[in-house]
Chains A and B, each alone.
Chain A
Amino acid sequence: EAGVTQFPSHSVIEKGQTVTLRCDPISGHDNLYWYRRVMGKEIKFLLHFVKESKQDESGMPNNRFLAERTGGTYSTLKVQPAELEDSGVYFCASSPTGPSYEQYFGPGTRLTVT
């Protein structure tokens, strides 16, 4: 079975442009998470979906970031307009419903804002 997939693997954009990252969770996983690692810092939580609902978006840095999960399947994370400090690796993870706490991570999208 395919794991969590993310697209693109790498994106280079100019400051002020818009970028949309996509995450496809493992089929059947209701929980979907977005994380970000900025250079030299820890992996930080951005938000959590349960199906199509935002359960926790306390980690979203500002209103330039918009996450959606229409239909409760794949999710997108849009950054508009992008700033230099948005550069980093964006990870998506999913987990099934149930007592398991294991989150399965995607390979990440490396975003470079120039």
Chain B
Amino acid sequence: AQRVTQPEKLLSVFKGAPVELKCNYSYSGSPELFWYVQYSRQRLQLLLRHISRESIKGFTADLNKGETSFHLKKPFAQEEDSAMYYCALSGRGGYQKVTFGTGTKLQVIP
């Protein structure tokens, strides 16, 4: 069975401090990994996906297959980063359902 685990419900950091949102997954095979974000009063939106290997809004995420982790990192948190972050996965190929974690609320303290 596929599963995504986000151990932290809430993560509070000061502005300018580094951020790491943890995500571990279980999946038979090689999944696609994503981070979705939901800002206050906005809809859920894709932040980044591992196949793109890109940095969005200063965030990066490295897939560690050995540890089955896909942690989201940013070196210097900004107040506008405060939001709900969801780690997610899907199968490769075709149009696959997305399995989400329970989400981590990031609170950046000014």
Question: Does B98 make an interface contact (CB < 8 A)?
Answer: yes
Total B residues in contact with A, Cβ cutoff 8 Å: 20
User: What is the total number of residues of chain A having a CB less than 8 Å from a CB of chain B?
Assistant: 27
A26 to chain B, nearest CB (A): 12
> In the complex, what's the smallest C-beta–C-beta distance from B13 to chain A, in angstroms?
23
- Check B46–A43 contact: CB distance below 8 A: no
- CA of A4 to CA of B49, assembled, Å: 21
Tell me the complex Cα distance, A91–B98, Å: 12
Q: Does B95 contact A43, Cβ atoms closer than 8 Å?
A: no
- A42 on the B face (CB < 8 A): yes
A93 to B48, CA, bound (A): 17
Q: Interface on B for A, CB 8 Å cutoff?
A: 4, 32, 34, 43-46, 49, 51, 86, 90, 95-103
**Known contacts A33-B97, A45-B97, A102-B46; 10 further A-B pairs (Cβ under 8 A):** A3-B43, A42-B103, A43-B100, A56-B97, A58-B97, A101-B96, A102-B49, A103-B46, A106-B43, A107-B43
Give the interface of A toward B (CB within 8 A).
3-4, 31, 33, 35, 40-45, 48, 50, 55-56, 58-59, 91, 95, 101-108
